[in-house]
Structure 1
Amino acid sequence: MITITEFSVDKIRDPFGIVAGDRYEFRLELDIEEDDELYSESGVYVRVIFRVDGEESRMVKYELHERGSDRYLDFDLEEEEEKQIEAFCREHYSEWEE
């Protein structure tokens, strides 16, 4: 299980209306235990693209990065962790500020 310690969310602009629905970009700071393969002394964050189209919402993609260096980490989250992050995004996407 992961712990989200901080987050930011921004709405992705689509001035031409090419993509249906709205997209949001999240940056979720994670607290990861030392014995986890994702652990980094610098810390880890996940960048999430989240889609909302009417009543439907879902995580489109995510990327894990090392905090500080922004180095991409080639790992996949466990299914339960993905569901946790998707639920978090669903709950918080409306908190973006213009």
Structure 2
Amino acid sequence: MFTITEYSAELMKDPFGILSGTRYEFILDLAVEEDDELYQEEGVTLRVIYVIDGDTAKIAKYEFLTTSTNKYIDFELEEEEEKMVLAFCKEHFDKP
């Protein structure tokens, strides 16, 4: 499990009007315990694409990256972690 230490949220533009809903890009800086398999010495960042479409809000995509080099980390969120990130996005999407 990890803790979100800092974040930024930005409204994503859809210049062609192709995508449905409103999309936000969240960049979440994470604190990860050293004994966790996700742990990276240079830090871990989670990039999340959060979509609001009518009454529905969901995570459309996410990816883990190393904080200092932005290298992709092949790792998936556990179910409870995904629920926590979704709740965080719901709470913070309008407060970038």
**TM-score normalised by structure 1 residue count:** 0.93
Q: CA deviation at 1:16?
A: 2.5
**Equivalence for 2:70:** 70
SS in structure 2 of the partner of residue 94 of structure 1: coil
Q: Structure 1 unaligned runs (5+)?
A: none
Q: How many residues align?
A: 96
Separation of aligned partners in 2, 1:18 and 1:78: 30
Pairing 1:6–2:6 present = yes
Separation of aligned partners in 1, 2:62 and 2:76: 9
Q: Structure 2 unaligned runs (5+)?
A: none
Alignment of 1:9-88 (within 5 A): 9-88=9-88
SS in structure 1 of the partner of residue 83 of structure 2: helix
For residues 71-97 of structure 1, give each alpha carbon's deviation from its aligned partner in whole angstroms, at most 9, with x where no partner exists: 10001121110110011011111113x
Q: CA deviation at 1:50?
A: 0.4
Q: CA deviation at 1:48?
A: 0.2
For residues 22-53 of structure 1, give each alpha carbon's deviation from its aligned partner in whole angstroms, at most 9, with x where no partner exists: 00000000000000001011110000000001
